[in-house]
Structure 1
Amino acid sequence: MTDSNKMIINLALFGLTQSGKSSAGNILLGSTDFHSSFAPGSVTKDCSLGRSSHLHGFMRRAGQEITLQVQVLDTPGCPHSRLSEDHVKQAVKEALARHFGQEGLHLALLVQRADMPLCGEVASSPVRMIQELLGQAWKNYTVILFTHAEKIEEAGFNEDEYLHEASDTLLTLLSSIQHRYIFQYKKGTSLNEQRIKILARLMEFIRENCYQVITFK
C-alpha cells in the first residue's frame, strides 16, 4: 500500500517450459510486456518484472474504492532447456529479493497446463523451487493457475470432473495449498474479462491471507 486508496499486489510466476507463464503474465498485466511464443525449447531466459496500468474502482475496502496495480515477475521455466536448475533457482532468488525484498510477495502462481498431467520428477521441479524459495510458508502463498483450460471442455469434462480424474500428485498438491487454483481459458471471453476474473479470484486468496506477504531480505 502506498496510500489508503491504492494497492499494489506482487505476483511471481513459476512453471515448466512452455506452460504458458509469460502469456499468463501478459493477461494479468493487460499488456504484452513478456515475450510469449511457441518454441521447441525454453523461451524465457531471464527474470523480468512487469507493471500494469492502474485499475480504478476495481475493489472496495473499508467503504472506499481502491485503485489496483499489479506487478508480475516472470521467471525461466524449470527445468530449462539451456540453463541448469541451480542457475535458474539462483536467478529467481536474486530477482525476488531485488523486486519484492521490502514490499513482499503476495502470491506465487504455479502455472500448469491443464492438458498435461502433473506427475513425475520433471513436473515437480517448479514445486520444489517454490518450496525452497518461499520456505515453510509456501503452502499459504501458492496458487495453481491452469492454462489451456479450454482443452478440458474440448475433452468433454467440466472443471470438477477434471480435478476428480487428476493425478495423485496434483491432488496432493492441491490439498497442501488449501485447493487454491484458477482456470484460465483462451476462448469464450475477452482478454480483459479473463484478466478481471483472474484478478478478482487472486484478491480473494490475498484477503484470506489478511493481505500478508513473504519478504526476501
Structure 2
Amino acid sequence: MCDTDEMTINLLLVGRTQSGKSAAGNSLLGSFDFDSHLSPSSVTTCCRLGCSCRISGFTRRNSHELALRVHVMDTPGYPHSSLSKEEVQQAMRAALAQHFGDEGLHLALLVLRADLPLCEEETHTIQLVQELLGPTWKNFTAILFTHADKVEEAGLTGDEYLHIASDTLLNLLSSIQQRYIFVDNQANTLQQERKTILRKIMEFIRQNSYQVLLVK
C-alpha cells in the first residue's frame, strides 16, 4: 500500500524458459522493461523489478476511489539453461526480501503456455513455487496462460480449452481455487488487454482479503 488514494500490488512471475514470462510482465506494466525474445536458452538470468506508472481511478475500496501502481518481479526461468535450482531459488528469495520485504507479495503468477501441454518442466516449476512460498502457496498463486491467441486460432474459447485439459492441469487449477487468466501475446493487443488482466488480478487479491505473503 502507498498513500490513502493509491494502492500498490506486488506480483511475482514464475515459469519455465520461453513460457512468455517476461513478455507477460511487460503486458502487466504497459511497458517494455523486461528483455523478451525467442532464444534456444534462458534469456532472463537474474531477478528484475519493473514498476508501472500511476493508473488513476482504477479501483474502489471502502467507497473510495484508488489509483493503482503495479510492481512486477521477473525471475529466471526454471529449469534454467545455466543456473541450478538452488541458484534460481536463492536469487528469488533475495529479490523478494529486497523489494517486497516490507510490503509483502500479493500474488505469484505461474506462467504456462496455453499452446503447449503441461510437461515435466512445469511440475518442477510448481515445486519451486511451493518451496519458495511455503505451506500457504495455494492462497497466493494464480496461473497466467500465455499465447492465448493460439487457443483462439484453434477455434476454442477459454472454457472449451480447459474442458479438454489434462487432469494434472485441472487438479492444479482446483487447488488454487480456479484463479487463472489468459493473455494474448500479440503486441498490438497488449494495451487493450492490460486493464482487463489487471482487473482480474485485483479480483483475486480482493478474494484473498488483500492479504500479503512475507517470504523469508
Q: TM-score, normalised by structure 1?
A: 0.96
TM-fit CA distance, 1:187: 4.5
Structure 2 distance, partners of 1:188, 1:49, is 21
Aligned CA-pair RMSD: 1.3
- Which amino acid in the other structure matches residue 132 of structure 2? L
- Which amino acid in the other structure matches residue 47 of structure 2? C
Structure 2 distance, partners of 1:13, 1:158, is 24
Instruction: Count residues in correspondence.
Output: 216
Contact in 2 for aligned 1:15/1:111 (Cα 8 Å)? yes
- Which amino acid in the other structure matches residue 79 of structure 2? P
Contact in 2 for aligned 1:119/1:169 (Cα 8 Å)? no
- Which amino acid in the other structure matches residue 12 of structure 2? A
Compare 9-18 and 122-131 and name the one that shifted more: 122-131
Q: Secondary structure at the match of 2:213?
A: coil
Task: Provide Cα deviations, 1:74-114, integer angstroms capped at 9, x if missing partner.
Answer: 00000001111111111111111111111000000001000
Contact in 2 for aligned 1:7/1:68 (Cα 8 Å)? yes
TM-fit CA distance, 1:186: 3.2
Aligned to 1:210: 209
Aligned to 1:155: 154
TM-fit CA distance, 1:189: 6.7
Structure 2 distance, partners of 1:105, 1:8, is 11
TM-fit CA distance, 1:119: 3.0
- Which amino acid in the other structure matches residue 139 of structure 2? N
Aligned to 1:90: 90
TM-fit CA distance, 1:216: 2.6
Q: Secondary structure at the match of 1:211?
A: coil
Task: Provide Cα deviations, 1:152-189, integer angstroms capped at 9, x if missing partner.
Answer: 12122221111111112111110110010000113597
Structure 2 distance, partners of 1:27, 1:115, is 18
Structure 1 distance, partners of 2:203, 2:105, is 15
- Which amino acid in the other structure matches residue 42 of structure 1? S
Contact in 2 for aligned 1:102/1:216 (Cα 8 Å)? no
Structure 1 distance, partners of 2:60, 2:197, is 17
Aligned to 2:36: 36
Aligned to 1:144: 143
Contact in 2 for aligned 1:51/1:72 (Cα 8 Å)? yes
Aligned to 1:185: 184
Aligned to 1:113: 113
Task: Provide Cα deviations, 1:118-177, integer angstroms capped at 9, x if missing partner.
Answer: 132x22111111101111111011000000001112122221111111112111110110
- Please, which runs of 5 or more residues in structure 1 have no aligned partner? none
TM-fit CA distance, 1:41: 0.8
Structure 1 distance, partners of 2:90, 2:126, is 15
Aligned to 1:123: 122
Structure 1 distance, partners of 2:182, 2:188, is 13
Aligned to 2:14: 14
Contact in 2 for aligned 1:119/1:167 (Cα 8 Å)? no
- Please, which runs of 5 or more residues in structure 2 have no aligned partner? none
Tell me, yes or no, if structure 1 residue 167 matches structure 2 residue 166: yes
- Which amino acid in the other structure matches residue 95 of structure 1? A
Structure 2 distance, partners of 1:82, 1:119, is 20
Structure 2 distance, partners of 1:190, 1:133, is 33
Structure 1 distance, partners of 2:25, 2:187, is 19
